[in-house]
Structure formats: C-alpha cells, structure tokens
Structure 1
Amino acid sequence: MYELVQAVINGDEETALHQFISALSASGKHYFLRNEILLFFADYCHQSQKPAYFYYSSSVGKLIQYTHEIILQEESTWFVVRPKIANQEVWKLTADFSKFEQMTPQALLDVRDRLVNRYQPHILEIDLHPFYESSLRIDDARNIGQGLAFLNRYLCSQLLTDPQHWVEMLFQALHRLRYDGIRLLLSDRITSGIQLAEQIKLALKLLSERSPHEPYEKFHSHLQELGFEPGWGNTAARVSETLELLDRLIYSPEPGILETFVARVPAVFRVVLVSVHGWFGQDDVLGRNETLGQVIYVLEQARSLEKELREHIKLAGLDLLGIKPHVIILTRLIPNCEGTSCNLPLEKLQDTENAWILRVPFGEFNPEVTNNWISKFEIWPYLEQFALDAEKELLTQFQGKPNLIVGNYSDGNLVAFILSRRMKVTQCNIAHSLEKPKYLFSNLYWQDLEDQYHFSVQFTADLISMNAADFIITSSSQEIVGTPDTIGQYESYKWFTMPQLYHVVDGIDLFSYKFNLVPPGVNENIFFPYSQKENRDSNLCTQVHDLLFSREDPKIFGHLDHPNKRPIFAVDTITSINNLNGLAECFGKSQALQERCNLIILTSKLHPDQAINREEAEEIQKLYDIIDQYHLDGKIRWVGMRIPSNELGEAYRVVADYQGIYIHFAHFESFGRSILEAMISGLPTFTTEFGGSSEIIDNQENGFNVNPTDLEGTAKKVLDFLDQCDTHSEYWCEVSERMSQRIHNKYNWHLHSNQLLLLTKMVSFWNFVVPENNEARDRYMEALFHLIYKPRAEKILEKHKGG
C-alpha cells in the first residue's frame, strides 16, 4: 500500500487527487462510505474528461478502489483502505499534501468521535490482540473460515514431527472418554500410546477371522480382553474400519484420515441449542417476525442433530448399552402465551425420539413485563439470571453435563457463554445476523439509538461471546470477512468506536481457527422441486393457487388483471432492511416488467395497525403509497398473513408452475433462508449482492446477484433473463434445475450436522492435547460483562420497572 500512496503524492496524479478531494468537500459532507466514494470518483472522472483507464488503472483510481471510508477535516483527509480481504489500514493526508502517512486505528477512532462531537481524551480501550498473539493462526486470508481443515493439517504435521509424543496424547484423549461413568473405546488394560499401537494389530488380526457382518455383541468379550471397550463399531467390519483408520493415523497421518477417524469417535451425546428470545414453539408458534427464521433454523437443526447422533451411536454399537442422544432447545417460558405452547416447561420435539424444548421463565423483576414476550432489543437485563436458572434445569434433564452448547443470535450466544463458563463445556456461536453492520453507523450514533435498540449492550455482548467461544460457525464466508468490495460482519468488530463509552482497537482475530463455514440446510420434506408432481398434494396445490392468484380475503390486497403473466415472487417481513418497498418501486418504475410479469408479495402483515412499532407501520404504509404512485392495481397481489410451512413450500412450487422467478431484494442479508427454499423448489432466484446471500448463488450465475440500490439495473437483469427464456425455450428449466441441485447438494442438514459434530470433537481434542491458557482472556470477558454489560442492562431494567 505504501508504494501506491507514494506513487500518488509524488507523481503526476497528485493534482487529480487534490481535485477529487475538493469535489468531495464541495458536497458539504465530511464522512463518505465506499458507494458514495466510487460514485463521486466516477463523476469526477467524467467531469474532468479523464481517459477510460483512469477510473480503474491509474494510481489514484487504484487507491480509490481500495478505499472504504474518507473523512474530511480542515487540516487533513483520512482514508480507510482495504488492500485485501481482512486487512484494513488507516492513512492520513495533510491538507497541503506534504505528508501521507499510515496511522493507528486509535487515531481514526478519535477522529470519528470528533466527527459527531463526542470526543473525550481518556476513554476505555478494548484490545483482544494480546490473547491471540501466541495462538495458532491461519496465515492465508483465503483460508479464513476453514478452521477445521487448518487444525487437521496442523495436527497431522505434528504427528509426523514428534510421533511418540502425539501418539501418547492421542491415546490419552481416547482413554478419557466416558458416558455417565461407562468406559468407551479403551480400558485400563492399555496404558500407553505404544501399547495401543501394538494392541490395534492384534485386534485387527482377530477381526479378520470374523464375518464382516457379525454383530459386535458376539465378539466384544475378545476385544475387551485386548483392552478395547464399546464404541468402535456395531459390526466386525465397522470396528475393523475404525481401528484401521487409527492405525493409519498413527503411522502415516493425513488430514483426511484424521477427519474420518475423529468423526467416528463417540464423544458427543448431549447438546443444548440456546435460542432465548423467540416465541419458540412448533406448528403455529414459529417465532415473532424478528425471530421467525431463527426458530425454524433451530428446530430443523435440532431434529437433524438428534437423527445424526442416533445414527452415530448405532454405528458405534453403543445403542446396545442403552445410550441415547439427548438434544434440548433452551428458550424462555412465556406465561402470557396467547393460547400457544410457549408456557409449557417441557415439550417433545415432533419427529424425534429424544429432543425437547425446555422453557425457563425470566425472573420476576416485573411480571407485567416478564410474563409477556419481550423484543430481542429489550431482553438483556434478564439473561444472567436466566442462564443460572437454566443451568439447574439442564443438569436435571440431562442427569449430567452436556457435551456442547450452541448459542443462537447475540442473546443466545451470551447465555451460552455464561453456561459454558460455569459448566466447562464446549461453546459454539451462531450469530445468524449481527446487528452492527446491518444498521448503518449504529455504533457511531449509538447514544441516539439507545432508547430504541440498546446497541451498547448488544455490541458488548457480541464482543464477549464471540471471543469466548470455542468455535464459531457461519453460513457464508462473507459473514466473516466480506468480499474485496465489502467488509464482513465479524470484520466490522475488528475496530470501532462507541463514543464516550469505549473504543475497540482490536475486537476479534479473523485469522483464528475458531471460524468455520457450516451453512444450514432446508427441510426437503416441505421444500422440494415443483417437478416432483408425485409428492405434491393436489388439494393443497389448488388451495395455495387460489391464495396467491384469486382468493378474496381481508388479509389479501390487490387482484391480477392478467393472472397468466409470469409471476415475480417475494417472501419476507416488512422492514426497511428487507426492502420489499424497493422491490415494488423497481417493479413500478419498469413498464417492461409490468407488461411481462405480475408481482406477488407474501408477508405476515397487511395493515399499519398490525405493526408492533412505528418503523414497521411506516414501511407498510409506504408500500401502499408506492402501489398508488405507480398505479399498480391489477398488477400486484399482496398476501399479508403467516401461512403454515407446507403451504409456503407449495407457494414456491405454484409460482414455479408458471415459470416465475423469486427476488430477495434486501439492503443486506447475512444469508437468507427463503433463498434456499425458493431455489430448491425450482425457482430461478435473484438475490441481493450485499451480504452472504450472494454466495448461495453459484459464481456462474452472477447475473442473478442484484444491487437493491440500483432499481434500473435490477430491472434490466430480470428482463435480460426473461429475454433468454423467450429466445431459448429450455433456458428457464435449465436454470431452475441447476439452482435446485445446488441447494440439494451443498445446503442440507445432513452435511451441516455432521460438520458441527466433527468440529465439536476436533476442537475438544485440540483443547485437550494443546490446551491454550484462556483463563486470562475469559477473565477479561467477565470484566467486560460486569463492568460494561451489566450496568447498561440494568438501565433497561429500570425502564421496564418504571413501565
């Protein structure tokens, strides 16, 4: 970067940079983000009649392409540049262009504070760098999010470098495995790694004389004489395969062998999935608007995990000992449950043998508040006591400790941190969506937003839980480090300011092996291709067709003058971020789209008086205004009701019957469950380019990533697709099949659950053989919890008591 900066200020292009900064200054603004910077620079190049290459290829052009922020001061200009993924730098250019020097993040945070007139000279600095300084780190940004593969490679290299030590550690890790006091894998007859290697040879010889299909119970006594306890397999062939993997691992370690062997080790039986704030239940209790996606995710994850654990236990031969998996979804009990099951302390999860929803009530600080559902933005004062109460309930239900605690969303991750710290259990975080990058300038203007969103509490909770977690799983790599053009959600926590509260000068190590890409699946019993006619219910199909195209109902707005036009379909809740209004405006501004398509929108609400807050009411009203403004009567159907999952699955297929398309037009989407559902149903899908959802679309489908701020460009991409469908009769079907297969092959719960369990085992093994001293880090997290989080949360509690 230094060379590029020098080329600008010492070359012929210094004048161009000076003119560009003057153009920015003339706008009257002081703070510019990447999109604005690029637009200003394009306009400058046009006005100055620069040659075509100048925008991208000149030294100034390259500098601007790397720049994500510019802050103008009287005496200097500040640049935040990102020459490569996960690597941000701060540069300051003096007003007289005499000096262009690299600055510290601390200096930039001070400038940001001054920008909003909230600078204070002495402020708390949060710096996590010392805790990661000596930790094992990924060295190539392209491998960020592949922590498991990195650990596998590292451990195998250590096995080769010092085989005697590492075989001994491997022996000790296996020797300590128990289930409720029952020994698994190895008994005390084997006392060392060297002896283990010798006994494996004897066991393999014994097994070679058995029929491959012979059940474990018929030869287990012979294995026990050699020192091998249950858990290796349920048949002679399975036991032999597992022991051969261990034998190969000892003598010729390779990452693939290590991963396959560890996947078979019976080390996970009890799992807690924490999802605190959601109106959590089954059937008609699938969350409020703000939690709907998370509730469905956790329910499907729980079913899948229980199923996979059952299969793992059976293949290990442990079902003969009466060992069963036990999965618990931990959420809050809501006394005023409006006729739902949210007041049941314990509820069996449908389609499982031993998975449950455990509901624990909030402490009775103020029954008028705690007896009711509480928004995710208001839930913070109750979480510590909830975690303490939940610990007792979990120990009672499990009759022991869990092997894994998985947090969901910011509040669930904080509870997972408290439980994990107290119970000494592996902690996994799933953010789903981090609010800080979703709400522009939410940290810079946190004081103005505090009454509504309480971001000071949430962002502190995020810092605590993401750093304390043993591992973090994300649905996309962009969630961690973004793209060359956008900053990742976790990357946004690297350094930031909360003016007059604290500065984060190093909030997370993006190169940590704890980050792992493990995307979710989709329920293929409900969401399956439209072409699978034999699996579709004709009555349901007729019912859903009427809902989308013709039924008159107080919860449906609009009719279609020409119902046979190709439908554009969208499913989402109405928020400014989800941007359904932007989609309607895009449709309204394009006469060509209106001539060829209808727009069908499915939301949970239709009228402003149904909204739970002013912002939602304004967004609903705005959609009506857009429909009026662009005279969309007869061209749009707005279904404003929550429909069951089986009807939603059929809705995608009905739209596919018409060779329609699906558009997800959010300003930002961390992933997007509805995108998976639409694609696997066979709908060609256009999705926002901002966030991780664009990764779902295959690279060869780049024409299906759209910019929600570019309405004309989006309409053109859709029309280009329709033109290809018209000129090539099979094109729609080809794209439909390709997208459906992509979801089926890559985004399925079987892969997700196996990867999650493998990560749990591998991280647990790593923490045993190379225990890092994380006590200082965890004490630091506790200090943040008690000194910043709790006092801020107590302010919310005071407000609730007053209410």
Structure 2
Amino acid sequence: MINLIQDVLESDERSDLRQFASQLRASDKRYLLRNDILAAFSEYCASHKKPEHFFQHSQLGQLVYYTQEIILDSESLYLLIRPKIASQEVYRVLEDLTVESVTVQELLDLRDRFVNHYHPTEGDVLELDFQPFYDYSPTIRDPKNIGKGVRFLNRYLSSKLFQDPRQWLESLYTFLRVHQFQGTQLLINGRIQNQQQLSDQVKRALQFVSDRPDDESFAEFRFKLQEMGFEAGWGNTASRVRDTLEILDELLDSPNDEGLEKFISRIPMIFRIVLVSIHGWFGQEGVLGRPDTGGQVVYVLDQARSLEKQLQEDIKLAGLEGLGVQPKVIILSRLIQNSDGTRCNERLEKVHGTDNAWILRVPFREFNPNVTQNWISRFEIWPYLETYAIDAEKELLAEFQGRPDLIVGNYTDGNLVAFLLARKLQVTQCIVAHALEKSKYLFSNLYWQELEDKYHFSLQFTADLIAMNATNFVISSTYQEIVGTPDSVGQYESYKCFTMPDLYHVVNGIELFSPKFNVVPPGVNENVYFPYTRTEDRVPSAIERLEEMLFTQEDPAHIFGKLDDPTKRPLFSMARLDRIKNMTGLAEIFGKSKELQERCNLILVAGKLRVEESDDNEEKDEIVKLYRIIDEYNLHGKIRWLGVRLPKGDSGEIYRVIADHRGIFVQPALFEAFGLTILESMITGLPTLATQFGGPLEIIQNKVNGFLINPTDHEGTAEKILDFVSKCDQNPNYWEEISNKGMERVYTTYTWKIHTTRLLSLARIYGFWNYTSKENREDMLRYIETLFYLIYKPRAKQILEEHMHR
C-alpha cells in the first residue's frame, strides 16, 4: 500500500490529503474507525464539491477505502491499512506529508499513549507472540482458503508422507492397530504383524468378500475375516466391507489425499464426545430467556442429538452394533444449587429424544456458598474454572468408564475448560467461539481497565488466546467470523494484534492462515422449526393459545402493551435484552417512522418486563431504555412486549403464527456472530431482515431469500422494511416468494446432518494426523501454560477474593 500512498503524494491529490487531515484535526475525534473515516471523507467531498467519482475512484478515495483506523497525535496521522483480508500495514504521515512505515510494537505503544497508559521510563510491557510456534507448521497462502483447513492440512501432510512409501505404510499400519472399544480390538488384530502383511491381507480379504452376496451381514463371515487378521469396523454388510477395503487397497497402492480423507472418515474411532458449555443456565426447560442462555443452549442441545444420531449411524455402517458398541455424548455444564425452579440443580439429565446423551452438571467448589450456589454471570465465572476442570475430569471418567475421544468447547469459558481437560487427558480438542466479546464491545481491550470491574476482559481475552492457540481445530459458523470481509475485520482476526495497556502487548495472537480453522455452520432443529405450511404437524390448540398471547391477551405480569389494531402486519423479533442484540434499537427505528406505525405492529419477545426481576446489569439498562422509547415516541397501542420464557415447542410455533399473519422477522443486532434465530425464522417460512454485521451476511443472500439491514441506520432500515411491505401489498405472491426461498436456503445449507457429518470427519482426520505426524506441540503448550499461570490465575484470584466478601 506504500505505492498507493506515494501515488497520492505525487499527484494533485496531495493537497486533498493535507486538507482532509486538517479537517480530521478540527474534529473532536482522535481515534477513528472505518465507518468514522468514510463518513468524514464523504463530508470532505461534499464540502469541497468534489465530483461524484472522487469518493470511490480517486487515489485518495481508494486509500481511504482500505484504511481501517486513523489515529491522530500532535504531529502525525497514523493510518492502519488493510490491503486485503487478514493483512494489515501501518504508516505514519508527518505534517510535511512524508511517510514512514510503523512496526507492530510502535503501533501498540501508540495505542497505549492514546489512552495515557504509555510508561517507557518504567520498562517494557510483556509481549505475547505466538508466531514462532507456527513457523514449522503448514500455513495456507490464499485468504480464500481460510476456513477450509482440513482440506489443506490433509493435502499438505499427505504429500509429505507419501514421499516416503515405507514411512507411509508404517504410519497407516500402526494407526489401524491402535483402535479398540472398551478392550475389544477393532480393524486389525495380531495376525497382521507389519505393513506388507497388511497390503497382502487386504487383497485376500477383498477377493473373499467379493464372492459374498452384497447384503450378507458381517456377522455371517466375521470369523473368516478374523482368521485373515481383520476385526469388526470395516462394514456391516459384504458390500460395505468390500467398499472400505477397496478404498484402503487403492490407498496402499496409489496413495492420494482424497482417498485418505475418504478412508479416515470411515474409521470407527469416535464413540464418546464431551460438549463443554459451562456458563449460564443449561437446561431443556425454563432457561431460555435467562441471561447467558439462548442461542448457545439451543446449539449445543441440537448438536448433541445430531451427533448421537450420526454416531449411531456410523457404528451401524461399521458393523459394530453386534458388539454392543453404543455412543455416548455428554454435555458438561455447571450445577446451580439455587436453580430457581429449573432442573439446573440435577447432576444428570437425559437429553430429550436421545438414547445415550446426557447433561452432566458439576458444581463449582463452595468458596463462598452465597456466590457459588447461585447463577454467576459469564463475566465473573473465571476464578472457578480450573478447579471445575479438575472435578469434571473425575466425573467424566466415571460416566464414560474411560477417556472421551473428542472434547468440544463452547464460548470462552467452555473453551478454557476444554483446554484444561484435553491437556490432562491427551484428547483431541475442538473449540467453538459462538461470540468473541472483544468484537462486540468496541475498544474493549484499549479501555479494559475502566471496564474491568464490570466485564473482566483481561481474563476473557487471555482465555481466548489460550484456547484458540491450544486447540487442535476450530469450528467457525462463517468465514467472516474468522477473517471478516473486505470491509470489516473478523472476530478471530481482531486477536492478531492488540494491546491491553499496562498488562501486555499481543504482537501476534493467532495465525489466521493456520489449517486449524474450519467453517462448519450449525443446523436448525427440524422437529421444532418447520414450515408454517405443514399444517398436519401443527397443534391447533397451541396455535390458538399463541395467537391470543401475541395479539390480544392481557397479562400485566408478562405482557406490556395492548394493540389498537391487531390485524396490522406484525413486525416480530425475539432475543435477549442486551445492548448488542439491540431490541431497543428496533423499537426506536419503529418509533421514528410514522409510516411503519401506520402499517405494522411491533411485537417483541424479549427478557423481563421489570428491572427488579433481573440480575443482569445490561438487561436492566435495556428495560429502562425500552420503556423510555415507548413513551418518547408514544408507541402505546402499536407495540407488544412479551417478557416470557417460551417452551421449546412454542419457540417454533411462534414464528409460524407470525407467518400465518404474513408477518416479518427482524433481527436488529449491532453484531451477530452467527444467528440461529435467523435460521429458525427462515425455515418456518417467515421472511427475514437481519443485521449485515456478522454471520447473517453469509446466511442471507440479500434480496433473494431475505434482506440485510444496517441497524445503526434507523431511517435506512425503516425504508427497507417499508419497501418490502409495499411490494407485498402490491403483489401478495412476493411475500410467499421470499418465504419459499428462505426455506430452501436453510434446507440446502444449514442442517444438523451436514454439520455433524463434517464435524466427525474433521475430528477423525485431525486425530489421524496428530497420531501419525507426531507433531510436537509441547513448546507451544508450555508457553500457553505460562500465560495461564502468570496472567490468568492471579487475575482470577482477585475476583475470587472479591467474591469471598459478598
């Protein structure tokens, strides 16, 4: 990008850059983010009567487009430029318009100086740099391939391994020998003693099963295969065994990465899975709508059901049913003694609709029962996680009667516990971020000290660094979650380089081009969320009850607002009441548009109705704000606010009832990591408008199967809603057209079957490479442990001491 800067300085636009810089200095802001920069440049172009093309197509316009941050100090203009996805460059422009490059360390010092926390006379701050640990591992080159890590890793390591045929055969042979289930040997036994015998016996076995009827059960010829050195696990019928052996035979003779992935994906090596979801109220009834629950609870429960179902299918296809092999999935969460009428005080709860999936709740140790016996905010949970992991390990080993095969962490706290468990048990680990708080709260790292009492971001961000670097692989719901878009920085990308003033500088926090990143979007529970047109599966009494609750029922304890005209088209939204979900923002958009109020009603299912009923500070603030907006814009008679906790069945039917009324679902979040409610509304047939900031950008194809909105642009959002309403009024088929395309989008891309098949394939392939490549990650893990013991633990102890005096 230095060339582009030089082009600006050597052209007539040099004076424009000087004047633009002068305009920025005249404003109050000294730290501008991309939206601020674009707005300021637009203002400059207008005030200086620049031609229309200048904003985008001039050299200065291009430079502004690529600039993510501008920091102004007394003498210089610092430009943080993002020339392409997952890349940044920093330049200092002096008053005489000379330009010099700025190092990462200088940038972090500058940011510290900006918040008056730069103390060079006191010595350097701790620097964290994970890059050296990635220098000897393969990295992806093309940003387009980020999120397709397993494909790259398999291709790269396969090519290296296949170069040495002897090592390749030895690695595969030893890998096949290690597989067993509770003492029962799988795949190959002691009659095959080396790799050459393996190759010979595969050909013998192939010849044998080729003469059997395709549908003949494995049990019928099991003992004959045992004599040749093959145990159960190759298939449940002669045709399945033959197919698997053919893949292996071709792999032994002509190895290639596609064949290896196909073969490894068939190997029965995962039977016991732990899904870690610590914080919040984790239950199946009476918890949705409470702080720290919602999307993550739904995600993990649906994932557990789907994983068990897929494991059962895999075990059957592998021919292991006759051996009594049964998969087990455990959701590890915390036990809350004062459970407020929920089942969160029960140690073990079976997951509905499963044979052997369980919620295992382990309590926090009782340092202070007044705290630990109650729900604890996700922002204050940190002091209890290490001892929790120690206690949970014992419980898991007892429940599984052995070690699990895969541990999947969820959210920052669950990911940290997953790391501690996987480190101790030597198990393959996966993490799912769901939401990285650093992206949700602007400048949260820069002003962490001012926010520490409320949010404890020093622990949150440290735990994120630990988990994302320690894990074997990462599951991301979307590509942009990792590295954003050409216009915005990704959640993980924000950890690449940042400062926590007076605590540490992160020079390189994560290798974005690492093959550990994989995009595997979640699905939606099709038993609960299905199209409104499937009337045969809907319950008339539930429809009638929800109709009344949504539009006419009077219940001051749980419902605020009476509609003057319940027949108007409903605008519907359902989310927690917190700042990021922005339900108050949607109410304000509605309040500012008289035309929207004339044509629609606003119906919100959101949190609680009264401040005194909430334990969450953000929720309290949003409750007060929502009442203020209703009064300020006189929305009485036009809005319904339901402070209810919906049972699972009702949460699906409520979308369908809104669809019956030809309504619209609006998701107005300031940022949404993925957006399960978007999938839920689309699959039920409800046309959906959702935030353009985050995951919805990849779910919704704008103006094809839904609409993207900028919820910070109140007027623009109202116009998009009104435009859709007008088109529906003019052409009733238009509502159905968007409805049908939304359903099609979910069914072809976002099902749990697709998700779990991919997740298990990833776990097997990463497990294979961890075993065969003998990758030495001990140096990185020791570095991570140092971060845990020297930064995380002392800061967690400070919270614990405060909790002890409550």
* Structure-2-length-normalised TM-score: 0.97
Change (3 A) 1:702 1:62: farther
Corresponding residue SS for 1:219: helix
Corresponding residue SS for 1:331: strand
| Residue 259 of structure 1, CA deviation | 2.9
| Residue 787 of structure 1, CA deviation | 0.2
| Residue 363 of structure 1, CA deviation | 1.3
Q: Deviations over 1:464-489 (max 9, x none)?
A: 11100000101111110011111000
Equivalent residue letter for 2:89? E
Corresponding residue SS for 1:792: helix
1:572 corresponds, among 568, 572, 575, to 575
Equivalent residue letter for 1:96? D
For residues 79-228 of structure 1, the aligned pairs below 5 Å read 79-98=79-98, 100-121=99-120, 122-158=124-160, 161-228=163-230
2:643 corresponds, among 626, 640, 644, to 640
Equivalent residue letter for 1:732? W
Matched-pair contact (CA < 8 Å) for 2:288–2:645: no
Corresponding residue SS for 1:376: coil
Q: Which moved further from structure 2: 166-175 or 634-643? A: 166-175
Matched-pair contact (CA < 8 Å) for 2:351–2:357: yes
1:528 corresponds, among 530, 535, 543, to 530
Residue matched to 1:495: 497
Matched-pair contact (CA < 8 Å) for 1:703–1:717: no
Equivalent residue letter for 2:167? H
Residue matched to 2:17: 17
For residues 406-421 of structure 1, the aligned pairs below 5 Å read 406-421=408-423
Residue matched to 1:72: 72
| Residue 629 of structure 1, CA deviation | 1.8
Unaligned ranges ≥5, structure 2: none
Change (3 A) 1:370 1:601: same
Matched-pair contact (CA < 8 Å) for 2:468–2:474: yes
Matched-pair contact (CA < 8 Å) for 1:327–1:355: yes
| Residue 112 of structure 1, CA deviation | 0.6
Residue matched to 2:696: 693
For residues 782-801 of structure 1, the aligned pairs below 5 Å read 782-801=785-804
Residue matched to 2:780: 777
| Residue 588 of structure 1, CA deviation | 1.5
Matched-pair contact (CA < 8 Å) for 2:705–2:739: no
Equivalent residue letter for 2:512? L
* Separation in 2, partners of 1:718, 1:184: 59
Q: 2:377 matched to 1:375?
A: yes
* Separation in 1, partners of 2:349, 2:538: 30
Change (3 A) 1:170 1:699: farther
Residue matched to 1:44: 44
Q: Deviations over 1:300-346 (max 9, x none)?
A: 11111111111111111112111111111111122222232222222
Matched-pair contact (CA < 8 Å) for 2:416–2:466: yes
Q: Deviations over 1:70-96 (max 9, x none)?
A: 000112111111011000111111122
Corresponding residue SS for 2:88: strand
Residue matched to 1:562: 565
Equivalent residue letter for 2:549? L
Equivalent residue letter for 2:219? E
Unaligned ranges ≥5, structure 1: none
Q: Which moved further from structure 2: 504-513 or 192-201? A: 192-201
Matched-pair contact (CA < 8 Å) for 1:168–1:194: no
Equivalent residue letter for 1:264? R
| Residue 357 of structure 1, CA deviation | 1.4
Change (3 A) 1:735 1:587: same
| Residue 460 of structure 1, CA deviation | 0.5
Change (3 A) 1:698 1:66: same
Q: 2:511 matched to 1:509?
A: yes
Matched-pair contact (CA < 8 Å) for 2:706–2:742: no
Corresponding residue SS for 2:529: coil
Matched-pair contact (CA < 8 Å) for 1:660–1:684: yes
1:802 corresponds, among 783, 802, 805, to 805
| Residue 596 of structure 1, CA deviation | 1.9
* Separation in 1, partners of 2:10, 2:74: 22
Matched-pair contact (CA < 8 Å) for 2:522–2:750: yes
Equivalent residue letter for 1:118? H
| Residue 159 of structure 1, CA deviation | 5.9
| Residue 648 of structure 1, CA deviation | 1.6
| Residue 167 of structure 1, CA deviation | 3.1
Change (3 A) 1:614 1:231: closer
Residue matched to 2:8: 8
* Separation in 1, partners of 2:742, 2:591: 28
| Residue 200 of structure 1, CA deviation | 1.7
Residue matched to 1:34: 34
* Separation in 2, partners of 1:169, 1:241: 22
Residue matched to 1:667: 670
Corresponding residue SS for 1:83: coil
Q: Which moved further from structure 2: 473-482 or 713-722? A: 713-722
Q: Which moved further from structure 2: 78-87 or 562-571? A: 562-571
Corresponding residue SS for 2:597: helix
* Separation in 1, partners of 2:689, 2:7: 41
* Separation in 1, partners of 2:16, 2:613: 54
* Separation in 2, partners of 1:771, 1:778: 15
Q: Which moved further from structure 2: 331-340 or 684-693? A: 331-340
Q: Deviations over 1:570-622 (max 9, x none)?
A: 00111111111111111111222222211111112112222324432221121
For residues 649-660 of structure 1, the aligned pairs below 5 Å read 649-660=652-663
Q: Which moved further from structure 2: 195-204 or 364-373? A: 195-204
Corresponding residue SS for 2:248: helix
Equivalent residue letter for 2:80? V
For residues 432-443 of structure 1, the aligned pairs below 5 Å read 432-443=434-445
* Separation in 1, partners of 2:102, 2:599: 54
Matched-pair contact (CA < 8 Å) for 1:280–1:287: no
For residues 373-452 of structure 1, the aligned pairs below 5 Å read 373-452=375-454
Matched-pair contact (CA < 8 Å) for 1:156–1:255: yes
| Residue 292 of structure 1, CA deviation | 2.3
* Separation in 2, partners of 1:614, 1:189: 66
| Residue 358 of structure 1, CA deviation | 1.3
Change (3 A) 1:782 1:223: same
* Separation in 1, partners of 2:24, 2:704: 36
2:473 corresponds, among 453, 471, 475, to 471
* Separation in 1, partners of 2:313, 2:759: 15
Matched-pair contact (CA < 8 Å) for 2:5–2:63: yes
* Separation in 2, partners of 1:438, 1:347: 33
Q: Deviations over 1:472-518 (max 9, x none)?
A: 10111111001111100000000100000000000000011111111
* Separation in 1, partners of 2:196, 2:402: 33
Equivalent residue letter for 2:16? A
* Separation in 1, partners of 2:300, 2:341: 22
| Residue 156 of structure 1, CA deviation | 4.5
* Separation in 2, partners of 1:770, 1:549: 61
* Separation in 1, partners of 2:57, 2:36: 19
Q: Deviations over 1:380-412 (max 9, x none)?
A: 001101101111111111111111111111111
| Residue 10 of structure 1, CA deviation | 2.1
| Residue 361 of structure 1, CA deviation | 1.4
Q: Which moved further from structure 2: 17-26 or 695-704? A: 695-704
Matched-pair contact (CA < 8 Å) for 2:140–2:146: yes
Matched-pair contact (CA < 8 Å) for 2:348–2:360: yes
Corresponding residue SS for 1:698: coil
Corresponding residue SS for 1:705: strand
* Separation in 1, partners of 2:743, 2:182: 44
Corresponding residue SS for 1:113: helix
Q: Which moved further from structure 2: 335-344 or 178-187? A: 335-344
* Separation in 1, partners of 2:715, 2:352: 46
* Separation in 2, partners of 1:758, 1:499: 41
Equivalent residue letter for 1:376? R
Matched-pair contact (CA < 8 Å) for 2:498–2:506: yes
Residue matched to 1:291: 293
Change (3 A) 1:198 1:182: same
| Residue 288 of structure 1, CA deviation | 2.8
Residue matched to 1:236: 238
Residue matched to 1:332: 334
* Structure-1-length-normalised TM-score: 0.98
Equivalent residue letter for 2:581? N
